[in-house]
Amino acid sequence: MAQLHSKFKDIIPILGAFHQQMSYIFAIYKRFKGSGMADTLVTAGVVVEGSVDQALRGKHYRRGVRCILLWREALIHKRLASILEHEELSEDIMENLKTLRNALTETQEALQKAHKDLEEDGDVKELINRVYETPGKGMGDYWVSFLEMTDPLVRCLDACHARNSTEYLLSTYNMLPGLMAYDNHDYGRWLPDYWAMLSSLSDDKMAFFNIHFTQSMTGLPYSCQPLNLWIETTMNLNSKLKQGWIQLLQNEKQLFSTTRNANNVVRVKSTVKQNFKCQRRPRKHVECQPARMKKDEQAVKDLLACMKDFEAEPFDIFSPTLRSLQSGLVASPKLAHDLNTALPDGQAQVETFLQERVFRKPLTATIHRNKRRNSAGEMICTPSGGQMKVAHMAYCI
């Protein structure tokens, strides 16, 4: 398309949010591998030992997302417990929280009012800022960075569920520092250009993207097969052949190889008429099912109990040295320094990369390999004898 820009200038390429989220989960895994999180999840019974590594690497979508969300909730519970140990919330806040707690029985209007009141409450905003405030200690700062790094993932998931393209673009930009630090040769290389392309669309193209994004995402994400996905699938299949893309551009009929022909029109019409008056049973998200919610609540309690049994307090002010939760192994000074500077360096690399690669060159220019190195920890030797750099807790031993 870059070679035939004038012909295909109106095409808007859309990356699948699913693969973007999975790659970001893998970036999170690289930073927090060896921190004791996996062992705690297994001990608490959240995930079995045989699949915990694959789940945290992003190989299993639902398991990986559930592990991250439950661990976030456990950390936030720890932070709130320490902050509110000598304080109390106002009666209005407690009443609104009680309303949201009964989400399955309260009316939609009551839930919306309670949510809006909490959003606009100044005490709630101050409390949120205190939760994300870095304690200034190695251990506490490390786990606060987990909350900060997983925020873009949670917002991207919410944007896909709510079909909010604006929130999707914002969460995509917030993913860039983590991807630059821990995945600079894959999505750290391509995602800045993708974000810049979507952010620089004209008003009419942006309106088309908003409509398309709404149509592509459903209440059960990634369960549909919209237009862009079957085209993408067909192109991916053909691009594995020699000069597959050129064949597609020269013969567009290949793109319609998976569509239904005219002989199926009568069958489709009869099916629509037959099911026109059928009423579908209302369905809830899997995460909103009462049984699933009770199971997740118990999982958070089990995680907190395991932390207590391990004598592993993520925000312990009396033992602030960065260490593994389960084994208690202390991180080396070089690794601790690297973990403290990785995400800020990633943010700086994003700003530099956008200035040099995106804003000063046309989007149609060739994207060369990003030669920036990942944030560095200890030097280790590869099996071939070369050197590579790592930056996660697995090498603190």
Measure the CA–CA gap between 333 and 344, rounded to whole angstroms.
18
pLDDT band at 67; cut points 50, 70, 90: very high
pLDDT band at 218; cut points 50, 70, 90: very low
Tell me, what's the pLDDT at 384? 47
Domains of the chain by residue range: 17-88+134-222+290-395
For residue 73, pLDDT over 90 is answered with yes
For residue 79, pLDDT over 70 is answered with yes
Tell me, what's the pLDDT at 369? 58
Task: Report how many helices (DSSP H) and strands (DSSP E) the chain contains, helices first.
Answer: 16, 2
For residue 372, pLDDT over 70 is answered with no
pLDDT band at 389; cut points 50, 70, 90: very low
User: Crossing angle for the helix pair 138-162 and 17-32, nearest 10 degrees?
Assistant: 170
pLDDT band at 285; cut points 50, 70, 90: low
Q: In the chain, what percentage of residues exceed pLDDT 70?
A: 68
**Residue 276: CA count within 13 A, CB half-sphere:** 6
Tell me, what's the pLDDT at 284? 54
pLDDT band at 346; cut points 50, 70, 90: confident
φ/ψ region of 136 (left if φ > 0, alpha if ψ in -120 to 50, else beta) reads left
Identity of the amino acid at 282: P
Neighbours of 375 (CB within 10 A): 23
Q: What is the pTM of this model?
A: 0.73
pLDDT band at 69; cut points 50, 70, 90: very high
Mean pLDDT of the chain: 75
Measure the CA–CA gap between 255 and 258, rounded to whole angstroms.
7
| Contact partners, residue 326, CB within 8 Å, separation at least 6 | 36, 39, 40, 43, 310, 312
Average pLDDT over residues 23-40: 89
Measure the CA–CA gap between 308 and 312, rounded to whole angstroms.
6
Burial class of residue 208, CB neighbours in 10 A (0-12, 13-18, 19+): middle
Tell me the per-residue pLDDT of 122-180, one tens digit each, with 9 for 90 and over.
989 999 999 998 888 888 888 999 999 999 999 998 888 777 888 989 999 999 999 88
Rounded to a whole number, what is the distance in angstroms from the first to the last CA of the chain? 49
For residue 231, pLDDT over 50 is answered with no
| Contact partners, residue 21, CB within 8 Å, separation at least 6 | 58, 61, 65, 153, 156, 157
Tell me, what's the pLDDT at 255? 52
Identity of the amino acid at 337: H
Average pLDDT over residues 356-377: 61
Could you tell me which residue, 261 or 129, shows the higher pLDDT?
A: 129
